[in-house]
Amino acid sequence: MKHRPVRGRKALDATVKGLSVTAALTGIFFLGWILAVVIARGASALGWNFFTRLPVPPGIAGGGLANAILGTLMITGLATAIGVPIGLLSGIYLAEFGRTTRLGSTVRFVVNVLVGIPSIIVGLFVYTVLVLPVGHFSGYAGAVALAVIMLPVVARTSEDMLTLVPNALRESALALGAPRFKVTLGVVFRGARAGLLTGVLLAVARVSGETAPLLFTSLNSPYWPDLSKATPNLTVSVFNYAMSPYPDWQKAAWGASLLIALGVLGLTLVTRLLVRERKRT
């Protein structure tokens, strides 16, 4: 075995550590910069009217984005109701029943592919399947598009979290005569509940800032949300308002951007706290 000088190894170790710290600080710097700019430009737009009133034409003071806020909550909530159960069931199958089966390997491959598919392609697919046949945009189509994006994230996280539960717990419960579904729901799920909730929150945060799928599916509207028609939402509102030449609309776009950033940041912090709590337990 070739002898390597201690000084050279220490120099290489210091170099790698320095590059790693530099890369981490660079990411933190740009994140802080983005947050600082969004807060500085968007804080002044947030107010009572912003959260309670409908949009107004350019040049008229007092408008808000209450419809887009409510529409975003409705679309995201429906997407969560669709994507999370399917993702959890997929994760259960992959972790508990399909670890070594051919079908399990196929499902795992499909889930991995879905994770990497660009969201705009998902939006175009849902547009072709749900929007074109009925002839109009709808919040339901937007929720389906977001659910398709959420599904693989929840499935992969659920599989990983359930796999981390020791097999001794499963074997002990089965040895006591408990049915397999009760073992899964009452023992395995309880042991991985923090990780499963973390996966759900990560999936919600993943779709909270998506614009491209909603451009193809729910589009936007200046009225109160109706999921059977074109539905207002924050991300498309930011896209439309930021591209406009009107200063008051641009200001509203910064306010909506700040609201989205704070929502994603809040979900991320909650996820980190859950992960920390899980490690302690």
Q: How confident is the model at residue 233 (pLDDT cuts 50, 70, 90)?
A: very high
Cβ–Cβ < 8 Å for 241, 222: no
Cβ–Cβ < 8 Å for 152, 183: no
- Name the least confident of 81-95, 108-122, 187-201, 246-260: 187-201
Q: How confident is the model at residue 5 (pLDDT cuts 50, 70, 90)?
A: confident
Mean pLDDT of 123-147: 94
Angle between helices 247-280 and 6-42 (to 10 degrees): 130
- Within 13 Å and on the Cβ side, how many CA atoms surround 229? 7
Report which of residues 192 and 18 the model is more confident about.
18
On average, the pLDDT of the chain sits at 89
21 has a pLDDT exceeding 60: yes
Cβ–Cβ < 8 Å for 144, 130: yes
Single-letter residue type at 76: T
Phi, psi of 5 (to 5 degrees): -60, 145
Cβ–Cβ < 8 Å for 89, 155: no
In angstroms, the CA 80 to CA 74 distance is 10
- Name the least confident of 29-33, 181-185, 224-228: 181-185
Who's near 164: CB < 8 A, 6+ residues apart?
192, 195
In angstroms, the CA 271 to CA 200 distance is 9
Q: How confident is the model at residue 251 (pLDDT cuts 50, 70, 90)?
A: very high
CATH numbers and ranges of domains, the chain: 67-280 (1.10.3720.10)
Mean pLDDT of 67-93: 94
Q: Apex CA 109: angle with CA 103 and CA 112, to 5°?
A: 140
Question: Helices marked H in the chain — which ranges?
Answer: 6-42, 48-52, 66-92, 102-116, 119-126, 132-134, 139-163, 167-175, 180-182, 189-191, 193-208, 212-216, 234-242, 247-280
In angstroms, the CA 69 to CA 65 distance is 6
Mean pLDDT of 193-214: 88
Q: Apex CA 141: angle with CA 158 and CA 219, to 5°?
A: 120
Q: Coil, strand or helix: which one is 99?
A: coil
Total residues found in the chain within this entry: 281
Mean pLDDT of 152-163: 91
Structure tokens at 122: 């998902």
pLDDT at 8: 76
The alpha carbon of 216 is separated from its chain's Cα centroid by a whole number of angstroms, namely: 19
pLDDT at 193: 83
| Closest C-alpha to 121, from 186, 216, 46, 33 | 216
